[in-house]
A and B are shown apart, each in its own frame.
Chain A
Amino acid sequence: MDNTNFIMIFLDWLMSFDKIAIILAGSAIGAGLAMIAGIGPGIGQGYAAGKAAEATATNPDSSKQATMVMLLGAGIAETSGILSLVIALILLFGNPLISQPGDGLVIAVSAIGAGLAMIAGIGPGVGQGYAAGKGAEATSINPEGSRGSTLVMLLGSAVAQTSGIFSMVIALILMYANPLVNSHGSTIVVAASTLGAGIAMIAGIGPGIGQGYAAGKGTEAAGKRPKYQSSVIKTMILGQAVAQTTGIYALVISLVLMFANPLLKLL
């Protein structure tokens, strides 16, 4: 029995390091994981740029306007990449975890969890990029309705950011105020709960892409029929709120794991 439980061996091996060393190692992994979110803005902005090129060919007269709309949308699509960059930079340059009291392993896993949570940024990036592309397209088809369609694009994209924001909230809680750090349970359960809180947030990819799709279609609709802009916005936002549901499930599970963990009571 002594050497067969590889998890215990692994944990013992981890425990053999300095507390600071293991926290720094976790932070390094977390910073790297956070940057995976860059996938989203990359895809999204590429799509937007492609649509803007297409828009230029469709209507060369409004090319400049379409490019501006595309750049505006692409600037928004960058947000989740920037939020991830901020989390990574905090872990690298202003790490709040180093000075925290508590179990080193749990604190290290908090950093990894924060990084994992930020992966959700893929969704908003892709979705907002889609909306930006549709904005450029709408401008080329109907330059006069460009103001309205751009407005719908901005609103839709802002809502599509929601799951990325939830992820950032969880990442900030994990880094600055993880309640599990001070809990007295079995280390492996507490550490795994922290990790789980981060993993749950990855679900945000879905709502991000979905809401971005809604934003894109709303933009297209508002461009075609400017008269119905306010009902388009209302339908779009209501639909996006429903699309947020799974992201909210993830947020709830993540918060439960951290603040009202039922598993710790079973120990």
Chain B
Amino acid sequence: MDGGFGARIIFEIGGIPITETITNTWMIMIALVVFSWFATRNLQKVPKGLQNFIEAVVDGIYKLTEQTMGKDKVGFAPYIGTLMIYLIFANLSGLIGLRPPTADVNTTMGLALLTFVMIHFFGMKTKGVKNYLKGFLEPFWPMLPLNIVGELATPISLSFRLFGNIVGGLIIMSLLYGGLASLSSTLGISIPVFQAAIPAPLHLYFDVFAGVLQSFIFAMLTMVFVSIAMD
């Protein structure tokens, strides 16, 4: 296990290390941008084919946002949708052998900080700065330090929930692949045959189940926290 389980540095630009996380994030971004561009050309009044699917996705995201945050906050849907789609693709990228960008705490912490800023910005915007800050003295003023720590704990738990799940799967899968390779080499087979098919059920759990679920949970918690701060 040389180098541990961190993201590998691919190359450096002017002394700034460019890791796998950054290259893979860009790959996912390019794929999504190209896909959205092609999916939204020639939109028809009566949808067919791909447009049907895209409309169902967009509709679903708007409905979910309305149901969770309320009718007045449906404007958050584009952000929530972007977040969810990006996270799903990022988490599933392990399936094609990429290192999921979400297996890097920098990615998840960045997204969680966005949520953190949104919570407090929109809280202040709807309640007014003074009223909003007064909320930190609830239920009585000695609770102030604890309320602050509690607020700071939100992005930590949000980011590490996603990071822990994805990196956990990554570590277990890489150990499994290593183990299977050494098993086939001890049996004298030069091709690691055991790496075929055997890891599939675990991929199903760690990448598909945990990946999709954690993307959904991240987006849902963002919606709930922001709408609680606003009400």
Which residues in A have some Cβ–Cβ distance to B below 8 Å? 72, 75-76, 79, 82-83, 85-86, 89-90, 93-94, 96, 151, 154-155, 158-159, 161-162, 165-166, 168-169, 229-230, 233-234, 237-238, 241, 244-245, 248, 251-252
The minimal Cβ–Cβ distance linking A110 to chain B, given in whole angstroms, is 16
Tell me if B157 and A162 are in contact (CB < 8 A): yes
User: Can you list 18 contacts pairing A with B, beta carbon distance less than 8 Å?
Assistant: A79-B165, A82-B165, A82-B168, A82-B172, A83-B164, A83-B168, A85-B168, A85-B172, A94-B4, A96-B4, A155-B221, A162-B161, A169-B156, A229-B67, A234-B224, A244-B150, A245-B146, A245-B150
Which of B21-29, B31-39, B188-196, B212-220 interfaces with chain A?
B212-220
Name 18 extra pairs, CB < 8 A, besides A89-B172, A161-B157: A75-B205, A79-B165, A79-B210, A85-B172, A86-B167, A86-B172, A93-B175, A94-B171, A151-B220, A154-B217, A162-B153, A165-B157, A166-B153, A166-B156, A168-B160, A238-B228, A248-B149, A248-B153
The answer to whether A237 touches B168 (Cβ under 8 A) is no
**Closest A residue to B231 using CB positions:** A234
* Minimum C-beta distance from B42 to chain A (A): 34
B224 and A237 form a contact (CB under 8 A) = yes
Q: Does B60 contact A (CB under 8 A)?
A: no
Chain A residues, Cβ within 8 Å of B157? 161-162, 165-166
Tell me how many residue pairs across A and B have CB atoms closer than 8 Å. Answer: 91
A93 touches B1 (CB 8 A): yes
B70, A230: Cβ atoms closer than 8 Å: yes
Q: Which residues of chain B from 104 to 135 have a CB within 8 Å of any chain A CB?
A: none
> How far apart are B26's CB and chain A's nearest CB, in angstroms?
27
Q: Which residues, 135 to 184 on B, are CB-close (under 8 Å) to A?
A: 146, 149-150, 153, 156-157, 160-161, 164-165, 167-169, 171-172, 175
Which of chain B's residues have a CB closer than 8 A to the CB of A72? 213
Given A94-B4, A165-B157, A169-B156, do A159 and B221 touch, yes or no (CB 8 Å)?
yes
Q: How far is the CB of A103 from chain B (nearest CB, A)?
A: 22
